[in-house]
Amino acid sequence: MWCSIVKDRIRMSSTVSNPQGVLQPGGYGGHDSRSNSTSGSFVGPDSESNENEEAELVSVSWNQDSSCFAAGTSHGFRIYNCEPFKETFRRELKNGGFKIVEMLFRSNILALVGGGPKSQYPSNKVLIWDDHQSRCISEFAFRSEIRSVKLRRDRIVVVLEHKIYVYNFMDLRLLHQIETQANPRGLCCLSHHSNTSVLACPGLHRGEIRVEHFGLNMVQIINAHDSSIACMTLTLDGLLLATASTKGTLIRIFNTMDGTRLQEVRRGVDRADIYSIALSPNVQWLAVSSDKGTVHIFSLRVRVVGEDSHSTENAALLTQQTYSNSLQGLVSPTTELLLEQRKTPNHC
């Protein structure tokens, strides 16, 4: 449904905001690398616009608290607020668009990966873009195509088909390398509470999920399904994990601390391709969408270990308002409201 709404908005919008600068496309790197240099990554305002061409939707992704989402297009990217629903701002680039646009809550920091029709931005390079300064502040290049990128306030996670790289956001130092089975969907999810640091990804065997509790220096292997994993999501604190397999009939909820299965719900009896799984902040509801054109909503009876529903929801709200100290040098204290201030007229 959201993709349909965004597609309609992209077709109707003809006014293009004038960006302060544009990204320069880069070539493919020959090895896994990271560069802090931004020379050649930023030039002056682009004199050519794409306003006479209809932008194609390439990707849609939510930010960490689902308060807004990013749409990668064949000409750049656009940011939308959810409540009220409106386009907040956009970047239009003559060199093509992005298949991955990962936001960091509502801040000025985004992770961009090239993709889509005629994109000149490589699909094996992550650009960390500061939209407040209109420049690339760092980039990561790899030998193979990037499947997904995940951000939290102290970590950058880059997912390749067979490996995951975890970097420290402050100094961009490589912290962890995690081997996975073939992961073409780029499955990976992170916790977003400041007091927990949890990552979940496919394991080395079919149907297996690896849960990294970085703060506890603990790894939990969960045998979630007999078939390969198709979709997964964590609660904001990372204590609960919901999963679905490529069969798409069952959704299972696990305790990430000890790997126990807490609940199982049935979406149907026919095979389905699960597109997304979402948990409410208080873990009372679970929603699942699939290629069947339906959204199933289930009532859950699980609870977050050590927390009641009220405290969990309050912690989720607190997370939206608190920055990790590691990002104070990157995120301006006044740019949390950047998305409201940089409105593009006549787009709503």
Do residues 237 and 305 both lie within one domain? Answer: yes
> Is 170 contained in some domain?
no
Mean pLDDT, the chain, integer:
77
Is the per-residue pLDDT at 156 higher than 50? yes
Whether residue 198 is found in the same domain as residue 311: yes
- Residue 84: partners with Cβ closer than 8 Å, 6 or more residues away: none
Range(s) of the domain holding residue 297: 182-323
How confident is the model at residue 304, as a pLDDT? 56
- Report the SS3 class of residue 314: helix
Distance CA 285, CA 37 (A): 45
The span from the CA of 100 to the CA of 129, in Å, is: 12
- Shared domain check, 187 and 72: no
Contact 227, 245 (CB under 8 A): yes
Whole-angstrom distance, CA of residue 85 vs CA of residue 66: 12
DSSP bridge pairs for 202: 209
Name the residue with higher pLDDT: 159 or 337: 159
Closest of 68, 58, 57 to residue 104, by C-alpha: 68
User: How many C-beta neighbours within 10 Å does residue 346 have?
Assistant: 8
For residues 116 and 208, state if they share a domain.
Answer: no
Regarding whether 238 and 131 lie in a shared domain, the answer is no
Per-residue pLDDT at 119: 82
- Write out the DSSP string of 210-277: EEEEGGGTEEEEEE--SSPEEEEEE-TTSSEEEEEETT-SEEEEEETTT--EEEEEE--SS---EEEE
pLDDT above 80 (res 52): no
- Regarding whether 230 and 93 lie in a shared domain, the answer is no
Task: Write the DSSP assignment of 149-193 as a string of letters.
Answer: EEEETTEEEEE-SSEEEEEETTT--EEEEEE-S--TT---EE---
**CATH code of the domain containing 221:** 2.130.10.10
The three-class DSSP label of residue 5 is helix
Question: How many independent structural domains does the chain possess?
Answer: 2
**Within a domain: residue 198?**
yes
| Whether 103 and 4 share a structural domain | yes
What are the distances in angstroms from CA 3 to CA 54, 80, 184, 318?
16, 12, 21, 29
pLDDT greater than 80 at residue 57: yes
At 50, is the pLDDT very low, low, confident or very high (cuts 50, 70, 90)? low
Estimate to the nearest angstrom the gap between the alpha carbon of 287 and the chain centroid. 18
Highest mean pLDDT: which of 86-90, 201-205, 305-309? 201-205
Among 57-61, 261-265, 300-304, 325-329, whose mean pLDDT is lowest?
325-329
116 and 229 fall within a common domain: no
152 in any annotated domain: no
Of the listed ranges 96-100, 115-119, 205-209, the least confidently predicted one is 115-119
Q: How many angstroms separate the first and last alpha carbons of the chain?
A: 18
CA proximity to 230, closest of 220, 243, 221: 243
Contacts of 124 (CB under 8 A, 6+ apart): 28, 29, 141, 142, 143, 144, 145, 146
Q: pTM for the whole thing?
A: 0.76
Q: What is the pLDDT of residues 328-341, one digit of tens each?
A: 333 433 333 333 33
